[in-house]
Chain A
Amino acid sequence: MSHAATHDQHDDHHGAPKSFFQRWCMSTNHKDIGTLYLVFALVMFFIGGSFAMLIRAELFKPGLQLMQPYFFNQLTTMHALVMIFGAIMPAFVGLGNWMIPLMVGAPDMALPRMNNLSFWILPFAFTLMLSTLFMAGGGPAGGWTMYPPLSLQSDSLAYVVFAIHLMGISSIMGAINIIATILNMRAPGMELLKMPVFVWSWLITAFLLIAVMPVLAGAVTMLLTDKYFGTNFFNPGGGGDPVLYQHIFWFFGHPEVYIMILPAFGIISEIIPTFARKPIFGYKAMVFAIASIAFLSFIVWAHHMFAVGLPMGAEIFFMYATMLIAVPTGVKVFNWVSTMWGGSMTFETPMLFAIAFVILFTIGGFSGLMLALVPADFQYHDTYFVVAHFHYVLVTGALFAIIAATYYWLPKWSGRMYSEFWGKMHFWNSVIWVNVLFFPQHFLGLAGMPRRIPDYNVAFANFNMISSIGGFLFGASQLIFLGVLIHGVWFSKKKATDRVWEGAKGLEWTVPSPAPHHTFEVPPVIHDDELAHGHVND
């Protein structure tokens, strides 16, 4: 592969505007906007995490400890909204912004100014949403799903709906940008079926975003008109139906779950081959599995609402359709394990998080299969079993993949190696305490403890206390992550090489570390040998 022909050498940021305002507020550079997204996601992660700490503190013992139930409801609602829309999604967009142009040999995103707008909408949206916590009447308290009639009781509904509209606009613009970049900006020779799996995962995710964000916008607008404009979409008293909201919401909501996991699949598919020093096993199968999962995500939404009283035929259809997702997901897990099989593996921090992802995400997937069973779901529905399930998928799944990606690409971004010792400290603390935090919640759920309740029966006391201790320590472990990041970006003495990892392949590793402000202004000449997936047709 040819070098990336750039103006820059290793140690500078030639071309970046000198003024802080110009560089960060007016930026059209994919790397700077990617950094903005990642920093924003990190801030939101700690805000959402502090809500989680308060929730676990309240649940440390039976009885009301620290807060009134209404505030507890606000915390559970805000924790989810902040983590989903503020931390996980922007983190993936940030990673996409940084890495997609580098991986496909493009000089920047296809629509750089829109890229800036997509990001800068977000701080306003979240300031608006978080500000409701300080208003008379408080923030939204009906859960992130905002089911009516409960959500309609909140005085802050209009603020939250407006904030969600802003986030939706940001996501749609981001998705259009990513699709336009991948389809049009690839370097000559970077055929679709030679693209890194991460790029593929983002291409498919972007289509999901475009398909479902307008649905969410429609659903929350109907909530708004029901509350303020006298409509009765969801009010049985006026001929409406609250179950309609659940159908519309989950038609958005289930693909949304995959929006939060497909890029994670892509990340893991980059990291495992690097540290196993083998090409990924079954590249095409991995791509088609992601596409299959994305397709299936549109026909499984009602598994979130088995308990509302669906017709038997519908319940059976949604049960089997949901179970079908295990097939492409199983293909992915099999291929990750097969990639590691016989590889010359080393266990640097990104690989540790990737392996933890494979194991723990699989646990979350299996509890998902249990929830897919209609008769079993009647028992599990709205219990802590569900909370345990989706936290295994979203924390040890999506979040672990984001952390793995950060360790994997940080040297490329900053030009410095992070501390491997403290990275491993972060890993072991995270992986131990996250299981102490969430595994007991399976038992609580199976024993019947309902979710979103600030008080509980004394029979649930022990597991809740264990879970809270795990929660506090998992939260504290993330301070190690913060420390590793600060050290790795500004203070580490160890310079990163261009390739950074011995087994790393792909265009992003051909540019200097730190990646210059402008890369691939002249499209690189691509040789298949140097691509991670250069010989897929052989």
Chain B
Amino acid sequence: MTQPKMQQPVLDPSDADRRKGVRRTVTILVVIVAAFFLVSFVQIVLMK
């Protein structure tokens, strides 16, 4: 398949949406992981 010659990247209008999406996804996942660790920690402290 032929490839294009040097081509300038253009600003992607969906870029801002992506950034927002990444931030939201990471926030949710980090909260889940932190909650898991917190539950583990609380459980360890309560059970000891």
Q: Report which A residues bind B (CB closer than 8 A).
A: 3-7, 9-10, 110-111, 172, 175-176, 179-180, 183-185, 188, 210-211, 214-215, 217-218, 221-222, 225, 231-233, 498-499, 510, 512, 521-523
- Contact at A3–B2, with CB atoms within 8 Å? yes
- Contact at B40–A214, with CB atoms within 8 Å? yes
What is the bound-complex CA distance between A5 and B48, given in angstroms?
Answer: 59
In the complex formed, the residue of B with least CB distance to A498 is B1
Query: Which residues of A are found within 8 Å of B2, using beta-carbon distances?
Result: 3
A-B Cβ contacts below 8 A, count:
82
- Contact at A176–B9, with CB atoms within 8 Å? no
Tell me the minimal C-beta distance from B19 to chain A in angstroms: 8
In the complex formed, the residue of B with least CB distance to A523 is B12
What is the bound-complex CA distance between A7 and B6, given in angstroms?
Answer: 5
- Contact at A214–B25, with CB atoms within 8 Å? no
Known: A217-B40, A522-B10. A184 touches B1 (CB 8 A): no
- Contact at B36–A221, with CB atoms within 8 Å? no
- Contact at A3–B40, with CB atoms within 8 Å? no
Q: Report which B residues bind A (CB closer than 8 A).
A: 1-4, 6-7, 9-10, 12, 14, 18, 21-22, 25-26, 29-30, 32-33, 36-37, 40-41, 43-44, 47-48
Query: Which residues of A are found within 8 Å of B47, using beta-carbon distances?
Result: 233
- Contact at A172–B12, with CB atoms within 8 Å? no
Contact of A210 among B10, B14, B18, B32 (CB under 8 A): B32
Known: A111-B22, A522-B10. A217 touches B29 (CB 8 A): no
Tell me the minimal C-beta distance from A168 to chain B in angstroms: 10
Known: A215-B36, A222-B44, A233-B48. A3 touches B3 (CB 8 A): yes
Tell me the minimal C-beta distance from A348 to chain B in angstroms: 21
Query: Which residues of B are found within 8 Å of A183, using beta-carbon distances?
Result: 21, 25
Query: Which residues of B are found within 8 Å of A6, using beta-carbon distances?
Result: 3, 7
- Contact at B12–A522, with CB atoms within 8 Å? yes
In the complex formed, the residue of A with least CB distance to B34 is A214
Query: Which residues of B are found within 8 Å of A176, using beta-carbon distances?
Result: 26, 29-30, 33
Tell me the minimal C-beta distance from B46 to chain A in angstroms: 11
- Contact at A110–B22, with CB atoms within 8 Å? yes
- Contact at B40–A215, with CB atoms within 8 Å? yes
Contact of A5 among B1, B4, B40 (CB under 8 A): B4
Known: A188-B14, A214-B36, A218-B44. A521 touches B26 (CB 8 A): no
- Contact at A217–B37, with CB atoms within 8 Å? yes
- Contact at B9–A512, with CB atoms within 8 Å? no
Q: Of residues A184, A498, A510, which shows the largest number of chain B Cβ atoms within 10 Å of its Cβ?
A: A184
Query: Which residues of A are found within 8 Å of B43, using beta-carbon distances?
Result: 218
Contact of A510 among B1, B21, B25, B37 (CB under 8 A): B1
What is the bound-complex CA distance between A217 and B10, given in angstroms?
Answer: 44
In order of increasing CB-CB distance, the 8 nearest A-B pairs are A218-B40, A184-B21, A214-B36, A521-B9, A180-B25, A110-B22, A231-B48, A176-B29
Tell me the minimal C-beta distance from B7 to chain A in angstroms: 5
- Contact at A180–B44, with CB atoms within 8 Å? no
- Contact at A225–B48, with CB atoms within 8 Å? yes
Query: Which residues of A are found within 8 Å of B14, using beta-carbon distances?
Result: 188, 523
Contact of A180 among B22, B32, B33, B37 (CB under 8 A): B22
Query: Which residues of B are found within 8 Å of A222, using beta-carbon distances?
Result: 44
In the complex formed, the residue of B with least CB distance to A218 is B40
What is the bound-complex CA distance between A3 and B4, given in angstroms?
Answer: 8
- Contact at B18–A172, with CB atoms within 8 Å? no
